[in-house]
Amino acid sequence: MSQGVGVVGLYVRDQDEAVEFYVEKLEFRVHTDVRNGDYRWLTVQHPEQPSFQLGLFRPQAPTLDAATAQTVQEIVAKGAMPPLVLVVNDCRAAYERLSARGVEFTQEPVDRYGAVDASFRDPSGNGWKMIEARPDAR
Amino acid sequence: MKTKHEGKQRSVSVAQDPKLLRRLLRAKDRMDAASHEAWPVKRLAQVSGVSQAHFARSFKSAFGVPPHRYLLTRRLERAKALLRDTDTPVTEIAFQTGWNSLGTFGRTFRDVLGASPSELRAQERAVPHDLERAPACFVNAAQRPDLMIAVSEKRRQDPSPMNGAEATEVP
């Protein structure tokens, strides 16, 4: 792939905590982790999706002023950021594996219209829907 | 992020500690996951790790509605989805979604949504839906009743108020 979406970023309250969550618990890999003073560009990647990076960014100066950064942190912690969807082959198996590792599920796997889905949140409050790929869509 | 004591309101705005908000979100998530269950303030406060005295105010400040009104909107949302998507009898839906009394369910439903459960079922089935491509949970959330005032207040504003006992908002 040469064109398309390369990075989409999430705001997280703590990048160490976020990388621990996305890598140790969710099985992503670190793609880029570089620092410039207080600023840290951190992206992770799903092992089966090499053309896409998920950025784990902290709302901070100089990108945002302190008051805006605080507001963004509040919005994230209230779960008000837009939905994220993680597609898996087997939602129930993934639920068992991830909840055993301490992932905070907000909805257990439910069968809806022939597809199974569950929900979890990252430590910051970002909400993920985990949806089982429909056999015909794989 | 250095923050002051959790739960302490700052003077200038309604800024709240993100760590407290994250824990209040947990209480909201738990109500979402099991809206048919009873959620007394004591239970919600425990989930959030705050005192009962602070919980309701903090929750309202964070999410714009008191916790029990939020729960009520979730129950109505779920009842609406069941009316639309299943053939489950209205009585059964009332109890499945957490109401103890069919009368309270019907009255609250009508007061908030402007139609009785069976009328709404008929309306929903009369129009085609093109929402199958969006995940069901997001579709349901989008159709959640936007209840910015108390049910009793909404009832007062209604030009043709229903007779009968005052429904309590606390389930």
Mean pLDDT of B26-47: 97
Distance from CA of A73 to the nearest CA of B (A): 6
Residue B129 pLDDT = 65
Q: Could you give the number of structural domains in chain A?
A: 1
In a domain, A28, yes or no: yes
Rounded (5°) CA angle B89-A115-A104: 95
Span A16-21, average pLDDT:
98
In-domain check, residue A1: no
Domain boundary among B64, B89, B118: B64
Two tokens at A111?
């069968």
In a domain, A2, yes or no: no
Q: Using the beta-carbon criterion (under 8 Å), do A77 and B138 form an inter-chain contact?
A: no
Sign of CA dihedral B55, B56, B57, B63: positive
Say if B163 falls within a structural domain. no
Residues of B in contact with A112 (CB under 8 A): 136
Whether residue A117 and residue B22 make contact (CB cut-off 8 A), yes or no, is no
Which among B9, B137, B139, B140 is the top mutation candidate for probing chain A, defined by the most A β-carbons within 10 Å of its own β-carbon?
Answer: B137
For residue B39, pLDDT beyond 60: yes
Structure tokens that stand for A129 in this block: 């829907």
CA dihedral B72, B78, B82, B88 (to 10 degrees): -50
- Domain range for B58: 18-64
Q: What contacts 24+ positions apart, CB below 8 Å, involve B107-112?
A: B107/B162, B107/B164, B107/B167, B108/B72, B108/B76, B108/B151, B108/B167, B109/B76, B109/B79, B110/B162, B111/B151, B111/B154, B111/B155, B111/B158, B111/B162, B111/B167, B112/B72, B112/B73, B112/B76, B112/B145, B112/B147, B112/B151, B112/B154
B35 lies in the same domain as B104: no
The whole-angstrom distance between A131's CA and the closest CA on chain B is: 9
Q: How many domains does chain B have?
A: 2
**Rounded to 5 degrees, what angle do the CA atoms A103, A75, A83 make?**
55
* CB contact (8 A) between residue A77 and residue B18: yes
* pTM of the model as a whole: 0.81
Residue of chain B minimizing CA distance to A14: B1
Could B21 and A125 be called an inter-chain contact, meaning their C-beta atoms sit closer than 8 Å? yes
Query: What average pLDDT does the structure give for chain A?
Result: 94
Chain A residue closest in CA terms to B12: A67
> What would the mean pLDDT of B145-155 be, rounded to a whole number?
77
Interfacial residues of A (vs B; Cβ cutoff 8 Å): 13, 70-71, 73-74, 76-79, 83, 85, 104, 106-108, 112-113, 117, 119, 121, 123-125, 129, 131
- Report the complex ipTM: 0.92
Rounding to the nearest 10 degrees, give the CA dihedral for residues A126, B77, B171, B147: 80
Contact A74 B136 (CB under 8 A): no
Residue A73 lies in a domain: yes
Residue B138 belongs to some domain of the structure:
yes
B67: exposed, middle or buried (C-beta count within 10 Å: 0-12, 13-18, 19+)?
A: buried
The domain spanning residue B90 has which CATH number? 1.10.10
Residue with tokens 């069968």: A111
Would residue B54 count as lying in a domain?
Answer: yes
pLDDT over 50 at A26, yes or no: yes
- Considering the domain architecture, whether residues B151 and B127 belong to the same structural domain is answered as yes
Q: What per-residue confidence (pLDDT) applies to B4? A: 46
Task: Categorize the per-residue pLDDT at B167 as very low, low, confident or very high, splitting at 50, 70 and 90.
Answer: very low
Task: Indicate whether B150 belongs to any domain.
Answer: yes
Q: B137–A77: do the CB atoms touch at under 8 Å?
A: no
Structural domain boundaries enclosing A76: 7-137
* Residue A72 within any structural domain of the chain: yes
The Cα B32–Cα B114 span in angstroms is 23
pLDDT at B11: 39
Strands A29-36 and A7-11: unpaired
Measured distance CA(B121)–CA(A116) in Å, rounded: 26
Same domain, B97 and B149: yes
Instruction: Please check the confidence at residue B132 and state whether its pLDDT lies above 80.
Output: no
